[in-house]
Structure formats: C-alpha cells, structure tokens
Amino acid sequence: MSSFKELGLSSSMLTNLDRLGFAQPTGVQVKALPPALAGKDVIAMAQTGSGKTAAFGIPLIERLQPKRFAVQALVLCPTRELADQVAKALRELARAKENVKVLTLCGGVSIGPQIGSLSHGAHIIVGTPGRIDDHIRKGTLALDNVNTLVLDEADRMLDMGFEEVVASILAQTPSSRQTLLFSATWPAPIRTLSERFQVNPEDVRVEAQHAEGSISELFYEIAPNQQVEAIAALLSRYQPASSLIFCTTKRDCDDLTGQLQELGFAALSLHGDLDQKDRDGTLVKFANQSCTVLVATDVAARGLDIKALPLVINAEPARDPEVHTHRIGRTGRAGEQGHAVTLCTPRHGHKVSRLESIRGSAVEWGDTGDLMAEPLRLVRPAMKTLCLASGRKEKVRPGDVLGALTGDAGIPGTAVGKIDLFDFQCFVAVQAAWADRALARLESGKVKGRKIRVRFA
Ligand code: AMP
C-alpha cells in the first residue's frame, strides 16, 4: 500500500491530506492505517516524527460523526505539550469534516474553564490521564459514546506511573471501543498493558525513520570534572542554532545550565520541577531561537516538537540503549545532517558496552585532547523574546502584535519571528538587532487600543 488513495479514505480526507502536503503515507501509516481503518485494535511502535499522530488521527476522524454531539474519541497523552501538539494535528486533519470540536484537558491549568468548554460539547478529547480522571470523578466528562481510544506514548505514561489511572479511565468507556496503542519503546510492561486493554491487536513495528548517515555519532571519554568544559567545547565547535543536552537528574540539569550561563551561553533548563508558566516560557524561547541550549531530563524532553536539531549531547550515557536511541533520534531528522555526542567517564564503560552489544558494532570515539583544545566561541541567539502581559483571554491575536510592531515603528515584518499566544500572556520573538527598538515601541504604543505591559522574557 503506497498511496493514501488505495486505503479507501473519503475524498474530503484525501483532499485535506493533499492540502497538508502529505503526498504519501509514512512507514507507520502504511502499516497501521489498514487495520485501524478496519476498526481493529493496533499496537504500534513508533517514534515522534514518524507520522504516528496521523496514523491514529486519520481513522479516528474518518469514523467520527460530527452531527452526534458526544465525545466519540479520547486520546491520552503523558504530557501537556504532547497533548497540545496532538490536538493541533487533529484539528488540521479534522478540516476534512465540518465542525469537529477538539478539546484538550490537561492539568497545570484551572479546571473551571475546561468544565465550561465541556458543557458546549466536544467530539474529540485529548488530555493527560490525571485531569481526565478528575473530570470523570466530577461528572463533567462522560465517555459512554467513545468508540476510539488512543494511548499515545504509552511507555512514557507507564514511566510516569499512570497505569492505574489509565485503567480506571478505560473502565468508563464501552468495551466495544477500538483501542490504538502507540509507544516509542517495546518493554514488557507495554505488552502487559496491551494484553490488559486490547483485543487481538495488530502488531505494527517500523524502524526508526533516520535516512542513512544523517546522524553522525561520536563518543568522548572524559574525566568527571571535564563535563562542562567538554560541552562548551562542543558548542563552540559546532555552533548549533539549537542544541539539546540530556542530563539524568533535575539537579544535574540546573547545575549544568548555571555553569553554561556563567560562560555566556544562552542556556535554559527543562525538567519536571518547573511550574507550568516557566515551562511554557522555556519552550517558547527554545523554539523561537532566543535560547540556543536546552538542558533537559528525558521525561521533560518528551513531546518536544522541535524539528531537526543540529546537535544533541548526552552529558552522560543514557540509562539504557533504547533511551539512547530515542535521545539521538532528535537530531538529523528529515534528511538533515545532525550530530549526536555522548560524553562518558570511565565509570560509564559498561553502558557503552551494552549499546555496542545490542547494535552489534563498536561506537566511534573522538579525540578528547583535540576537543578540549577548542577555543571558546559563544553561540549568539538570533532572536530575543518579548513578553506581553496580555493574551488570548483579552482577545489579543498574533496579527495585533505584529501590527503594533510593524505599523509606524518601521520594524520590518521579517525581523519578527514566532508569536506564541497563551491565555494571559504572549511571547514574540524579534531579531536581536531590532529587539530594543521593538521593546521601546511596544512600551510607548498600544496593542488593540490598550496599553500593555512588556518586558524581555
Ligand atoms: P508525528 O510523528 O505524528 O509527530 O509527525 C511528524 C511530522 O510529520 C508532523 O509534522 C506531521 O505533520 C508530518 N507528517 C505526518 N504524516 C505525513 C505524511 N504522510 N507526509 C508528510 N508529512 C507527514
């Protein structure tokens, strides 16, 4: 099956896929769509970037009856970022049908407005298990009309201890439902989860989607006290506009971020202890290129939708080979060349040996002396982020902000980057050279006829 047409999709879906630029199904779509469209349960091993969202999104939307005002599909995700991303993708796919309402229900924001939105009706719910469970308990969410249930990044939901909450949510759905399970890794607990909740599922596995040779991977052996120096040397050498550094603990993330900042790098740390507001701010700054280095734990980095990172660094080897593969899969996407570097102290030797034995080949080691001789060259962020103390709830739209900047101010539209709107604030990226002028302009001007507080984020 090599085309969407042969899958028997509706003509409106085909037109929509065409509009989205999806010329051909990806590997996981080729394998998962036929059984999923036929209503069967599917267990699929697929990574972020493989096209997995459309692999469950297309069947779910094809099956949906917009005229029936009831929740017909439920997608459970481990994190709010992933849920937002999935909801966005589903809305795009749902343009094939009229008036499909997709609602996200995640923790970290107040529950009141969600209850309001639910009372207006929704066809598809995307959310995190904890908050969905809260709604069920409050009686604000009924799942007795759900015919498609998706567990996205199921391995991560298990890692985060959601198994029993997921079980109790599933118990609220009809047993005749279709259950689609997606997971990046394939450990035994995932098989158990599948056995618990699925009926004769179709197994779908696709190899990680890396074009051959697109990731160049190197290992360096360092002394424990050389970690920061080695990372600074790698950043100086590769000069990546964006890079992701993996640490094992939150504490390591914060320490390393602080040390890189002291050297002058635009580094930020991302881990589970950040509150939602700081997390949003960090993700925005990384995605809009006003922060160039993100230091993260595995869990926190999950669901990050950053395309083609030029450099991924493991500050130390990952806990196991599967996690390693997942980490380095964040670079070299979509045919672009990426670098993945792993730093190891002698104490980490066994982890590298395990990786080698699983791969059946030796890893390549770089020359540490040569790396350490690299002169320090900072990576200057291309953009700076302005934070406006007003957002969606005050009916601010991206066009209003863009207008306020480019209007009389003479700031060229090309100097304005990503605009990210949240309920009560808005972030706008501006090319570094124009940033001061943009700030002054917004401070003295008005957005939507009102004065708005602005600062550098
Ligand atoms: P995902 O793995 O679901 O996060 O998807 C990764 C990216 O691939 C998203 O930006 C999708 O919009 C895109 N995508 C999904 N399916 C296709 C396809 N058949 N052709 C082209 N792009 C696709």
Helix axes 11-20, 52-63, angle to 10 degrees: 150
Ligand 1 center from residue 55 Cα (angstroms):
9
Q: The pTM is what? A: 0.55
For 297, other C-beta atoms within 10 Å of its C-beta total 19
363 in the same domain as 318? yes
Q: What is the pLDDT of residues 265-274, one digit of tens each?
A: 999 999 988 8
The tokens for 16 are: 């929509």
Average pLDDT of 287-307? 84
Give the per-residue pLDDT at 330.
Answer: 81
How far does residue 39's CA lie from ligand 1's centre (Å)?
Answer: 22
Judged by DSSP in three states, 235 sits in helix
Same domain, 44 and 167: yes
Nearest to 257 by CA among 298, 287, 284, 293: 293
pLDDT attached to residue 305: 65
Residue 320's SS3 state is coil
Find the residues whose C-beta lies inside 6 A of ligand 1.
22, 24-26, 29, 48-54
CA of 137 relative to ligand 1 center, distance in Å: 35
Question: The domain spanning residue 99 has which CATH number?
Answer: 3.40.50.300
How many residues are present in the chain? 457
In sequence order, the 6+-apart residues with CB closer than 8 A to the CB of 230 are: 220, 222, 343, 368, 371, 372
Instruction: Give yes or no: residues 98 and 8 share one domain.
Output: yes
- Here the tokens at position 50 are 């493989």
Are residue 137 and residue 20 in the same domain, yes or no? yes
Read out DSSP for 405-449?
HHTTT---GGGEEEEEE-SS-EEEEEEGGGHHHHHHHHHHS-BTT
Q: How many CB atoms lie within 10 A of CB 239?
A: 14
- Alpha carbons within 13 angstroms on the beta-carbon side of residue 54 total 24
User: Do 221 and 334 sit in the same domain of this protein?
Assistant: yes
Of all protein residues, whose CA lies closest to atom 14 belonging to ligand 1? 51
Q: Give the atom of ligand 1 at the shortest distance from the alpha carbon of 23.
A: 20
Q: What is the CA(51)–ligand 1 centre distance, in A? A: 4
Give the mean pLDDT of 107-114: 93
Q: CA 248, CA 351: separation in Å to the nearest integer?
A: 14
Q: How far is the CA of 335 from the centre of ligand 1 (A)?
A: 14
Supply the residue whose CA is at minimum distance from atom 20 of ligand 1. Answer: 22
pLDDT of residue 111: 95
Residue 210 falls inside a structural domain: no
One-letter amino acid at 122 equals: A
Q: Ligand 1 centre from 273 Cα, in Å?
A: 30
Out of 146, 181, 205, pick the residue that ends a domain. Answer: 205
Residue 453: CB atoms within 10 A of its CB come to 11
Q: Which of 205, 233, 260 is the last residue in one of the domains?
A: 205
- Count other Cβ atoms within 10 Å, centred on residue 2: 8
Pairing of strands 416-421, 311-314: unpaired
Q: What CATH number has the domain bearing residue 443?
A: 3.30.70.330
In a domain, 378, yes or no: no
Same domain? 366 vs 433: no
Q: Are residues 179 and 64 in the same domain?
A: yes
- Cα–Cα distance between 364 and 219 in angstroms, integer? 6
Encoded tokens for 200: 């004769």
On whether both 111 and 27 belong to a single domain, the answer is: yes
Residue 81: pLDDT above 90? no
290 occurs within a structural domain: yes
**Can you read off the two tokens belonging to residue 163?**
């198994």
Residues 162 and 34 in one domain: yes
The residues, any chain, with a CB within 8 Å of residue 395's CB and separated by 6 or more, are 448
pLDDT at site 209 = 46
How does DSSP classify residue 3? Answer: S
Whose C-alpha lies nearest to ligand 1, atom 13? Answer: 51
Q: Which residue, 318, 350, 372, sits at the end of a domain?
A: 372
Per-residue pLDDT tens over the stretch 415-442: 999 899 998 899 999 999 999 999 998 8
Number of alpha carbons in the 13 Å side-chain half-sphere of residue 134: 15
At position 249, the amino acid (one-letter code) is T
In a domain, residue 451? The reply is yes
According to DSSP, the residues that pair with 126 across neighbouring strands are: 75, 104
The number of domains in the chain is 3
Share of the chain above pLDDT 90, in %: 65
Quick one: which of 369, 371, 373, 353 has its CA closest to 361? 353
Same domain? 54 vs 187? yes
Backbone dihedral region of 237: left (phi > 0), alpha (psi from -120 to 50 degrees) or beta? alpha
Q: Is residue 417 part of a domain?
A: yes
- Give a yes or no: residue 124 inside a domain: yes
How many separate helices (H) and strands (E) can be counted in the chain? 18, 17
For the record, the structure tokens of 316 come out as 């130390």
Q: What is the DSSP letter of 221?
A: E
> Quick check: is 229 in a domain?
yes
Under 8 Å CB-to-CB from 14, ≥6 apart: which residues?
A: 4, 5
Residue 208: the pLDDT is 53
Q: Which of 158-167, 208-217, 418-427, 447-456 has the lowest mean pLDDT?
A: 208-217
The predicted structure's pLDDT at residue 94 = 95
The mean predicted confidence, pLDDT, of the chain is 90
Tell whether 183 and 278 lie within a shared domain. Answer: no
Do both 65 and 185 map to the same domain?
Answer: yes
Residue nearest to atom 21 of ligand 1 (CA): 22
- How far, in Å, CA of 324 to CA of 320, rounded? 6
In a domain, 152, yes or no: yes
Residue 409 backbone dihedrals phi, psi, to 5 degrees: -65, -20
Q: What is the DSSP letter of 328?
A: H
Q: Which structural domain, as residue segments, surrounds residue 362?
A: 215-372
Classify each residue of 186-220 as buried b or exposed e, where b means 16 or more C-beta atoms within 10 Å of its C-beta.
Answer: eeeebeebbeebbeebbebebebbbeeebbebbbb
